[in-house]
Structure 1
Amino acid sequence: MIKFSHSVFALPFAFTSGVLASGGIPSGRQILWITVAMISARSAAMGLNRIADRKIDALNPRTKNREIPAGVVKLTEATVFTALFSALFVLSAYMLNPLCFKLSPLVLAVLFFYSYTKRFTWSSHLFLGIAISGAPLGAWIAIRGDVSISILPLVFAVVFWLAGFDILYALQDVNFDKTHGLYSIPQRFGIKKAITLSRVFHLFTFILLALTGVFFNMGIFYFIGIAVVAVLLIYEHLLVKPDDLSKLDMAFFNINGYISVTVFVFVLIENTLFKQ
């Protein structure tokens, strides 16, 4: 029901923020509990999402074989799974620092709220971006114990990056969403405009990543990494055309995984090997 491998989307951004917050490599204890927090939060959020969408998933040909509508996982089992990972997330927040612990219920509320947004707003993609942007923001708080304006460009870069590729992912369900009263940018504005808006969001992502480099006085190596990210974003959009969505899965899963890992790797190298 939950693909742990898909944590690759957000987890590298948490590690990126951790490197920036510590000015190098965080302690082993911090890395451990940030990782536990990330995986448990995502698992709880996806568990709740599958529970909330079980009836919708059963009607959608693309999702009818998911574990709950297919009867592979019972609703009670999914509920227990979600509750356990929610508790593990709160525990990991407690192990990090008092502010993380105090914010943990709010984080879960934001993550859970997203699952219901497509029922009433086409801006659900942005809500998902906000939810996932908790990765870099949370990791910063985990290490620094506060919130700084310097990390905000990276946080907003994640918002627009995630929203941009979630728009592309939603292209698969345009007709289903129209028929069943669900909301998305492709359903509201059409496929061509949705793709254009996704490109605009990813342009914002590139600008904000560059601004992150400025805020943290990054060297040329970091900006080479951001250039690589730009190439990956361009390639992603070349794969998705209004009249051809056949390569959407490749664009969604592979390319965006490469993007988050690329940002992390270049930030890590910049803050270790090239640190002045």
Structure 2
Amino acid sequence: MEYARKVGSKIKLYSELVMFSHTLFSLPFAIISMVWAANGLPSVHVMIWGLIALVAARNGANAFNRVVDRIYDAQNPRTAHRHLPQQLLEAKEVLMFVVINYGIFIAASAMLNPLCFLLSPVAIFLISSYSYTKRFTYLSHLYLGFTIASAPIGAWFAVTGKFAFTPFVLGTIVMLWIAGFDIIYGSQDIEFDRKHGLWSIPSYFGLKNGLRIAAALHLLMVLLLLALIPLRGLGWTYGIGIGVAVVLLLTEHRIIKPGNRQVMKIASYNLNQVISMVILFMTLIDFYLG
């Protein structure tokens, strides 16, 4: 009983470490990509191994980022409570967690098709290198979005084993969306970033200009979502979903208060989790009932 309790406690710590709930940012777009690629439900084999690959890659990348950033996290009052600064987990065991997850990702990719297996080391390099970008470029937000964009692109590859235009449009949408709300989130750390030589759009361009850039990225995201209507022959149900997403994005930009952590969590995370789920459900309804 005591052993089970310890295992459960450790699982909870790792789930918190990698912010497992944030899978809702990438998973919905990966599902859309799979459904479109398969023109319906993909095989159970593809769904299972595709999901395993996505979760393993994401867990490994997030855990690696925590290890790389642990010194800065310890100095930042906003992040000092995280697991590594608080020594709730050790860097060595987190790195082992990273290796295990990346190994699972490569194995799952091999179970999908040769293209996914061939690209798996490239994906690992991309999702791991993000952790260092904030040290030398304010474009780190876009790079983060670029790495997460691999979810819908990889999902398409998992189903078809081939390149196509649609998944790269979906990937660009995800990149713009993630970069936009990561800029919003980063506006909390303007002074800290400047003091410690870290790069971000808010610290480089200032708060107002940074938020304008975030809004511009989200506008481009919406335009690409609309461009999918003629590209994929989508109907009014999908359009309603985009309308709801636009309202939520406008709300997100309206409530931004960098000094209020709770409000910033809602603006940067909670609302965007709702946005991705709205787009997913309305797209699926449009696909099956439209």
TM-score, normalising length: structure 1: 0.96
2:14 is aligned to: none
Task: Tell me which residue corresponds to 1:57.
Answer: 73
| Equivalent position amino acid for 1:260 in 2 | S
- Aligned counterparts of 2:60 and 2:113: Cα–Cα separation in 1: 21
Q: Which amino acid aligns with 1:196?
A: R
- Residue 162, structure 1, aligned to residue 178, structure 2: yes
1:134–1:155 Cα contact (<8 Å) kept:
yes
Partner of residue 101, structure 2: 85
**1:225 counterpart residue number:** 241
User: Which residue is 1:200 aligned to?
Assistant: 216
The 5 A counterparts of 1:5-154 are 5-154=21-170
**Secondary structure in 1 matching 2:144:** helix
Residue by residue over 1:134-157, the C-alpha shift from the partner in whole angstroms, topping out at 9 and shown as x without a partner, is 011000111111111133221111
The alignment's C-alpha RMSD in Å is: 1.3
Q: Residue in 1 aligned with 2:195? A: 179
Gaps of 5+ in 2: 1-16
Q: Deviations over 1:222-270 (max 9, x none)?
A: 1111111111111111111578776111111211001111111112112
- Counterpart AA for 1:229: A
Amino acid at match of 1:207: L
Deviations 1:79-119 (A, max 9, x none): 10000000011111111111000000000100001000000
Normalising by structure 2, we get a TM-score of 0.92
The CA deviation string for residues 37-59 of structure 1, in whole angstroms up to 9 with x for no partner, is: 11101100011101101111111
> Which consecutive unaligned segments of at least 5 residues does structure 1 have?
none
Larger RCO: 1 or 2 (CA < 8 Å, sep 6+):
1
Counterpart of 2:173 in structure 1: which amino acid?
Answer: A
> In 2, distance between residues paired with 1:234 and 1:265?
20
Q: How does 1:186-265 map to 2 (within 5 A)?
A: 186-241=202-257, 247-265=263-281
One-letter amino acid of the structure 2 residue matched with residue 247 of structure 1: V
Give the counterpart letter for 1:226 in structure 2: I
Q: Is the 8 A contact 2:187 2:258 kept in 1?
A: no
Q: How many residues align?
A: 274
More off after superposition, 79-88 vs 207-216: 207-216
Deviation at 1:273, TM superposition (A): 2.1
Residue aligned with 2:288, SS: coil
Letter in 2 for 1:88: I
Separation in 2, partners of 1:62, 1:150:
39
Q: Please tell me the residue identity of whatever aligns with 2:279.
A: V
